[in-house]
Chains A and B, each alone.
Chain A
Amino acid sequence: GQQLNQSPQSMFIQEGEDVSMNCTSSSIFNTWLWYKQDPGEGPVLLIALYKAGELTSNGRLTAQFGITRKDSFLNISASIPSDVGIYFCAGLTPNNAGNMLTFGGGTRLMVKP
């Protein structure tokens, strides 16, 4: 099925460094979501973006909804070891049959202490 283009696929960084990842789509989405998944766990919602151009922060995380509604980025400042995991972007399409998510391929983040 359709998948968003998420980059980079993986990152190996030093603790304390800032991280940036992004997603692009050929389709417009009215809502962009960022999830983090730890090994053996389910995805956890980090940030939800509802308006084009919106910039939202959650602690050390900052995400923006692109003005064209076809892209989004996530920044993590001052990374720490517990930031390790896989980050997924997702575009959400509301529907009476259920809200449909289109996922990016994921960014695997590894942090070196």
Chain B
Amino acid sequence: DTEVTQTPKHLVMGMTNKKSLKCEQHMGHRAMYWYKQKAKKPPELMFVYSYEKLSINESVPSRFSPECPNSSLLNLHLHALQPEDSALYLCASSQTGTGYFSPLHFGNGTRLTVT
């Protein structure tokens, strides 16, 4: 069982819908991440939160809006997505800081289909 929990597991949405992906971890990690993964490709970084503050945005379109309500929760709000945004969205967490060679622990992802 993964210690990073993502909901929902599957999501189908139309291009005019608004939906949210949720992620939760209770390992005391202070960095949380959103990755996007296309089939047969490695995960691609989207956003990083460090100590509940957005620290990295990898030039992600504004139709993706991240939120970190507290140190255990991470959300990704979706609005006006395109079919090419269909992918597996992965959440991950880790310790952070230059002294922490802490691996990232991934959730099982949300399989998103945009119709």
Residues of chain A having any CB pair with chain B under 8 Å: 1, 3, 30-31, 33, 35, 40-45, 48, 50, 86, 88, 92, 94-101, 103-106, 108
CB of B103 within 8 A of CB of A98, answer no
> Contacts of B41 on A, CB cut-off 8 Å?
105-106
> Contacts of A101 on B, CB cut-off 8 Å?
43, 45, 104
Binds A, one of B13-21, B72-80, B93-101: B93-101
CB of B102 within 8 A of CB of A94, answer yes
CB of A94 within 8 A of CB of B56, answer no
B107 at the A interface (CB under 8 A)? yes
Complex-state Cα separation, A101 to B106, whole angstroms: 12
Residues of chain B having any CB pair with chain A under 8 Å: 2, 4, 6, 31, 33, 40-45, 48-50, 55-56, 90, 92, 94-109, 111
Complex-state Cα separation, A103 to B37, whole angstroms: 12
CB distance from A105 to the nearest CB of B (A): 6
CB distance from A56 to the nearest CB of B (A): 13
CB of B105 within 8 A of CB of A108, answer no
> Contacts of B111 on A, CB cut-off 8 Å?
40
CB of B105 within 8 A of CB of A94, answer no
Residue from B2, B97, B109 within 8 A of A94 (CB atoms): B97
With A95-B97, A95-B98, A105-B41 already in contact, 10 other A-B pairs whose C-beta atoms are closer than 8 Å = A1-B44, A31-B103, A42-B2, A94-B97, A96-B97, A97-B55, A97-B96, A98-B55, A99-B104, A101-B45
CB of A3 within 8 A of CB of B109, answer no
Residue from B42, B45, B94, B109 within 8 A of A42 (CB atoms): B109
Nearest A residue to B42 via CB reads: A103
Complex-state Cα separation, A61 to B105, whole angstroms: 19
Known A31-B101, A94-B96, A95-B98: A106·B56 in contact at CB below 8 Å? no
